[in-house]
A and B are shown apart, each in its own frame.
Chain A
Amino acid sequence: MEARGTGGGVLALDVLIAEDEPSILEALDFVLKKAGWTIGSVMDGEVVVDTVRRLRPRMLVLDVMLPKRSGFEVLKQIRADASTAKLPVLVLTAKGQQQDRRVAEELGADIFVTKPYSNVEVVEAVRSLLGDPADKRAGA
């Protein structure tokens, strides 16, 4: 599985999405691109950390239920590595349980979003983590 940078090879990647459900990934990709960010994606847990190191995204949208390696494990690895420890991470989960939210916070997730979410909610969350007005770029 190869991560794809949709915003072109040279351009820095804004958001890396780690999500195994194709239709959800497609919807997220559409919404975030529409908001003006460059998007990359991976579909299994094993490649997330490598992809982060290689593509240096400004943030990560991370699903918990990933094949091969769970989102929580990935998050733990990212926080453990000094080079990626500061990376803003948005955790997505379909389980929607209190316990998952707590685990995510303990592991250092910046924002926790429960599926199904509204598109606006995710866009706002990503914007708050990236700290810049997306429309400015979108307009560019």
Chain B
Amino acid sequence: MTLTADLVIATAVAYVGLLFVIAYLGDRQTRRGAASFLRSPFVYTLSISVYCTSWTFYGAVGTAARSGLEFLTIYLGPTLVFVGWWFILRRLVRISHDQRITSIADLLSSRFGKSSRLAVLITVLAVIAIAPYIALQLKAITSSIEAIAGSSEFGRGSLEGWDEVGLAFGVAAGMALFTILFGTRNVDAKEQHHGVVAAIAFEAVIKLTALIAVGIFVVYIGGGMDTIFADAARVGIDVHASNTFGDRWIAMLVLSAAAVICLPRQFQVTVVENSNENHLRTASWAFPAYMLAMSVFTLPIALFGLTFMPVGSNPDMFVLTLPLAQGQDWLALFAFIGGFSSATSMIILESIALSIMVSNHIVVPIMLRLTSGDGIGEGKGVRRLILNARRLSIVLILFLGFGYFYFTRTSDALAPIGLISFTGVAQFLPAILASLFWRDASARAAIAAVAVGFVVWLWSSLMPSFASSSSLVADVLANGPWGIAWLRPQALFGLDGLDPLTHAVFWSLFLNATVLILGSLASNQSALEHVQAALFLNVFRRTSTDAASMTGSATADDLFLVARRVLGHDRAVDLFSEEARIAGTPWSALEPSPAFIRKLERELAGSIGAASAHVMLSKVVSGDSISLEEVMQITDETQQAIEYSQELERTSTQLRATAEKLEQANRQLRRVDLQKDEFLSQVSHEVRTPMTAIRAFSEILLDEPGLDSTSRDRFMTTIHRESLRLTSLLDEILDLSALERGERAWENRRLDAEDTLDQAIRVCDALARQSAMTIRLGPRAERAIVRADPDRLSQVLINLISNAIKYNRAAEPEVEVRSRCQDGTYIIEVEDNGTGIDAAERERIFEKFYRGDHIATAGNAGAGLGLPISREIVARMNGTLELIATARAGACFRVSLPMAEPGARA
């Protein structure tokens, strides 16, 4: 078999046809819901490997041949992202699903307050930045066809008369046609293209297999890895020689890491086409593994080619030319298909992604602006318009790529062209990171930052690539515009001596990030930005749906018209039927709730982007005169009011608690005060009573000189007695007060209480004889050791016995005193045979100044403090004093004291 251009082109067309069949089957299976394998994490991972384009397929070997290990950075960057920054991707996916994000421009526009300007800027930048990349693919395909065509005498076949440019144009046109057929058959609600993804996954397998096949072949004919390395070393090729691990490495790592997030097609496959967040888990190791497999044979192929291919061979084509040189035509054809599939998958996806951005962010907004409020196209106008816009975009994108190819065709290396695109899309990275993690980033700052980065990129990265085709550019490069040296594109602001790539990356990203940060700090966010920023930041915490983005109301008919035009009749009917079913009303009576309008907006956003969906619905929803800003302001104020009132509530709760405590303390104080008043009032009464008698009799004695001596003596005795009563009253008051305060020096010591009792009985004996009564001794304990103050105990006993004597008015008055030890307690009882004390009075007799009625009748009344004092004293000796009921009528007081030596005597 002889490989000719005709055969190769025929094979390529057949291959494209196969892809089309796969995509068609994939779509059909998905519609049936049967294609579960299409939703597997491995298909997802394979589709992500669209990252590996013909640049990597051919160019990695070229890079390895020219710059040694540098080619690895292109793989290391994405590996770092997928392994280490997995959470960023997860966040992106979650946000995009929640917000129905359709592209990277949509993502940034949505985050920054659904800003149309930002979306347009990102779209334009992306289209321009990707042009070199498309050109790269065209160049790779063209070069590979040329390589095969040039390999034999009749190789050109029907290509005779076509030059490289013509061939590239043909490829571009073919690709445009193919992509239009592939990607713009319908406008999907979620912009997911399962068929395309299936085809891309298939291509991923093809390109990997082809590359590995070539690799194994090369290792086989080279005599093994070791031999290849040894041969290379022998002819003086050192892969470690050139500028390894320098600033260029860092720049390329940054670029490739940024690219795998920012490239429109990567965003499309990784985020938009993602059907399950968990697939990211698999991709986080499988994608790096895929890249590793892609790069295993890069170095052997490069070294083998450098060693054995004729000097001057294009190292970018080694993958193809090595099998050709060895006469392995089938393998070469397979390699060509591998490279071709790398290029087609990239071109298809990239143009689909870009065309979505162009139609959603540029064409639809212009259309919305051109049409009046009520008429938004006719019938299926919007859908057809969108599809046509996309078709046109694809043609434009490929034409731009071709244009770039045309102007830079004299430069032959593939890799630098790719890096120009990488640097361009990396300008999105600061804004993306800010949108994910920085609440205060503002739309104005983001627009300025991306614009600044874009301009620097144009100047220092894109423009220099035209140097070989334009003498003007070459002059600017060498001397700066108008001879201004510090504006030289590759030595901006005097930063000379850096690698041009590093230089461009540094200045563009540095200025970009600086403008973003300073601009955000200096500017304010609009209300919608504020809302969206919160939604993005809290994407993993949010439970309720997003804040109301539409106020006002619309009729179901108006909304249906909009929905049908954008989503298509079937989908619109589905949506409204479901809403009608949920609302439980017939279609005609449906009143769209704000929630439904929100849902509709999200559905529309899935087709035409957040900003356009927002504008479109705003035209239909008859907004109240109140603007969103005002609503936000009201919300903010309400929030502040709520916080303030919560604070007030807290404060007032504290105040209430404090007030309650104060109230309590106050009540207690009042009670104490009342008790004190009561006490003073009683003291006053008790003092005034003897004083009254003393004063009255003194006056009588003074006023009646002629008083008989009997009366005189009698009155003087009364005065004397009342004076004594007064004194003892005051003593008792002081005594009680001291006892209650507990200030009095008090000494409880071990003593025999029987001795104290004997002593008290002896003291009272005289009083008893005076009153003509007897103190009868009952049964006694022989010895009772207690801990007590002897004088105080004696005071209590004398008080009890003398009370029993004084207030006993029985005909034959009698007091019985008895004592015993019982269960570790020493008990003394003093019982009289008087009239006794009423049950009602039993407790009251221990109150201060209380005197039973029986006492009042006795002339020699005390102040009523004796019993309270006695009870207080006994309590201080850890004992009790109580009035107990006995069989007999008289009163019986009992003193109980704990014994210090319980076992002494029972």
Known: A67-B853, A116-B692, A117-B692. A95 touches B684 (CB 8 A): yes
Q: Report if A131 contacts B (CB, 8 A).
A: no
| One of A23, A65, A94, A95 near B722 (C-beta < 8 A) | A23
Convert B719-737 into 0s and 1s, putting 1 for each residue whose CB lies closer than 8 angstroms to a CB of A.
0011000000000000000
Report the Cα distance A119→B681, complex, angstroms.
23
| One of A43, A95, A117 near B681 (C-beta < 8 A) | A95
Residue of A nearest to B688 (CB): A94
Residues on B with beta carbons closer than 8 Å to the beta carbon of A114: 688
Among the 9-residue stretches B242-250, B440-448, B694-702, the one with 4 or more Cβ atoms under 8 Å from chain A is B694-702
CB of B620, distance to nearest CB on chain A (Å): 83
Residues on B with beta carbons closer than 8 Å to the beta carbon of A24: 689, 692-693, 696
Residues of chain A in range 7-28 having any CB-CB distance to chain B below 8 Å = 20-24, 26-28
Report the Cα distance A24→B369, complex, angstroms.
114
CB of B519, distance to nearest CB on chain A (Å): 81
Report the Cα distance A120→B704, complex, angstroms.
13
A119 B699 Cβ-Cβ under 8 A: yes
B696 A119 Cβ-Cβ under 8 A: yes
A28 B696 Cβ-Cβ under 8 A: yes
| One of B692, B699, B700 near A94 (C-beta < 8 A) | B692
| One of B686, B692, B853, B859 near A22 (C-beta < 8 A) | B859
B681 A21 Cβ-Cβ under 8 A: no
Known: A26-B718, A44-B856, A119-B700. A95 touches B693 (CB 8 A): no
Q: Report if A31 contacts B (CB, 8 A).
A: yes
B695 A94 Cβ-Cβ under 8 A: no
Report the Cα distance A114→B692, complex, angstroms.
9
CB of A103, distance to nearest CB on chain B (Å): 13
Report the Cα distance A21→B722, complex, angstroms.
11
CB of A62, distance to nearest CB on chain B (Å): 15
Residues of chain B in range 840-896 having any CB-CB distance to chain A below 8 Å = 853, 856-857, 859
Q: Report if B703 contacts A (CB, 8 A).
A: yes
Q: Report if B691 contacts A (CB, 8 A).
A: yes
Known: A44-B853, A44-B856, A67-B853. A30 touches B700 (CB 8 A): yes
| One of A30, A43, A67, A115 near B692 (C-beta < 8 A) | A115
Report the Cα distance A26→B697, complex, angstroms.
9
Residue of B nearest to A22 (CB): B859
Residues on A with beta carbons closer than 8 Å to the beta carbon of B688: 94-96, 114-116
Interface residues of A toward B: which range?
20 to 34
Residue among B695, B696, B700, B857 with most chain A CB within 10 A: B696
Residues of chain B in range 653-707 having any CB-CB distance to chain A below 8 Å = 681, 684-686, 688-689, 691-697, 699-700, 703-704
B697 A27 Cβ-Cβ under 8 A: yes
Residue of A nearest to B687 (CB): A94
A20 B856 Cβ-Cβ under 8 A: yes
Residue of A nearest to B693 (CB): A23
A116 B700 Cβ-Cβ under 8 A: no
Report the Cα distance A44→B851, complex, angstroms.
14
Residues on B with beta carbons closer than 8 Å to the beta carbon of A44: 853, 856
How many chain B residues touch the partner (CB < 8 A)?
Answer: 24
CB of B476, distance to nearest CB on chain A (Å): 109
A67 B856 Cβ-Cβ under 8 A: yes
B700 A27 Cβ-Cβ under 8 A: yes
Residues on A with beta carbons closer than 8 Å to the beta carbon of B689: 21, 24, 94, 115
Residues on A with beta carbons closer than 8 Å to the beta carbon of B859: 22
Q: Report if A136 contacts B (CB, 8 A).
A: no
Residue among B692, B718, B722, B857 with most chain A CB within 10 A: B692
Work out how many contacts link A and B, with CB atoms closer than 8 A.
Answer: 68
A21 B696 Cβ-Cβ under 8 A: no
Residue of B nearest to A94 (CB): B688
Residues on B with beta carbons closer than 8 Å to the beta carbon of A28: 696
Report the Cα distance A68→B537, complex, angstroms.
85
Residues on A with beta carbons closer than 8 Å to the beta carbon of B697: 23, 27
Report the Cα distance A21→B684, complex, angstroms.
15
Report the Cα distance A31→B704, complex, angstroms.
10
Report the Cα distance A114→B685, complex, angstroms.
10
CB of B834, distance to nearest CB on chain A (Å): 17
A116 B856 Cβ-Cβ under 8 A: no
B696 A31 Cβ-Cβ under 8 A: yes
CB of B173, distance to nearest CB on chain A (Å): 116
Residue of B nearest to A65 (CB): B685
Residues on B with beta carbons closer than 8 Å to the beta carbon of A119: 696, 699-700, 703
B722 A118 Cβ-Cβ under 8 A: no
Residue among A27, A117, A118 with most chain B CB within 10 A: A27
Residues on B with beta carbons closer than 8 Å to the beta carbon of A118: 695, 699
Residues of chain A in range 26-75 having any CB-CB distance to chain B below 8 Å = 26-28, 30-31, 34, 43-44, 65, 67-68
Residue of A nearest to B682 (CB): A95
Residue among B694, B704, B721, B856 with most chain A CB within 10 A: B856
A27 B696 Cβ-Cβ under 8 A: yes
CB of B721, distance to nearest CB on chain A (Å): 8
Residues of chain A in range 100-125 having any CB-CB distance to chain B below 8 Å = 114-120
Report the Cα distance A25→B694, complex, angstroms.
12
CB of B699, distance to nearest CB on chain A (Å): 5
Residues on B with beta carbons closer than 8 Å to the beta carbon of A65: 685
Report the Cα distance A115→B691, complex, angstroms.
8
Residue of A nearest to B854 (CB): A67
Report the Cα distance A130→B684, complex, angstroms.
30
Residues on A with beta carbons closer than 8 Å to the beta carbon of B694: 116
Residues on A with beta carbons closer than 8 Å to the beta carbon of B722: 23
Residues on B with beta carbons closer than 8 Å to the beta carbon of A117: 692, 695-696
Report the Cα distance A65→B682, complex, angstroms.
11
Report the Cα distance A22→B693, complex, angstroms.
9
Residues on B with beta carbons closer than 8 Å to the beta carbon of A21: 689, 692-693
Report the Cα distance A26→B719, complex, angstroms.
12
CB of B465, distance to nearest CB on chain A (Å): 109
Convert B181-193 into 0s and 1s, putting 1 for each residue whose CB lies closer than 8 angstroms to a CB of A.
0000000000000
CB of A76, distance to nearest CB on chain B (Å): 21
A27 B685 Cβ-Cβ under 8 A: no
Report the Cα distance A133→B686, complex, angstroms.
34
Report the Cα distance A19→B880, complex, angstroms.
36
Residue of A nearest to B691 (CB): A116
Report the Cα distance A27→B703, complex, angstroms.
13
Residue of B nearest to A117 (CB): B692
Report the Cα distance A94→B687, complex, angstroms.
8
Report the Cα distance A96→B681, complex, angstroms.
8
Residue among B684, B693, B694, B857 with most chain A CB within 10 A: B693
CB of A115, distance to nearest CB on chain B (Å): 4
Residue of B nearest to A68 (CB): B853
Residues on B with beta carbons closer than 8 Å to the beta carbon of A95: 681, 684-685, 688
CB of B482, distance to nearest CB on chain A (Å): 108
Report the Cα distance A21→B695, complex, angstroms.
14
CB of B861, distance to nearest CB on chain A (Å): 8
Residues on B with beta carbons closer than 8 Å to the beta carbon of A116: 688, 691-692, 694-696
CB of A98, distance to nearest CB on chain B (Å): 11
Residue of B nearest to A122 (CB): B696
Convert B116-157 into 0s and 1s, putting 1 for each residue whose CB lies closer than 8 angstroms to a CB of A.
000000000000000000000000000000000000000000
CB of A106, distance to nearest CB on chain B (Å): 19
Report the Cα distance A32→B852, complex, angstroms.
30
CB of B473, distance to nearest CB on chain A (Å): 112
Report the Cα distance A3→B329, complex, angstroms.
152
Residues on A with beta carbons closer than 8 Å to the beta carbon of B721: 23
Offer 14 A-B interface pairs, CB within 8 angstroms, sorted by A.
Answer: A21-B693, A23-B693, A34-B704, A94-B685, A94-B688, A94-B692, A95-B688, A97-B681, A115-B691, A115-B692, A116-B694, A116-B695, A118-B695, A119-B700
A24-B692, A24-B693, A43-B857 known; 16 other A-B pairs, CB under 8 Å? A21-B689, A21-B693, A22-B859, A23-B718, A27-B696, A28-B696, A31-B700, A94-B684, A94-B692, A95-B685, A96-B688, A115-B689, A115-B692, A116-B696, A117-B695, A119-B696
- CB-based closest 4 A-B pairs: A27-B696, A94-B688, A23-B693, A116-B692
Hey, which bits of chain A sit against chain B, CB under 8 A? Answer: 20-24, 26-28, 30-31, 34, 43-44, 65, 67-68, 94-97, 114-120
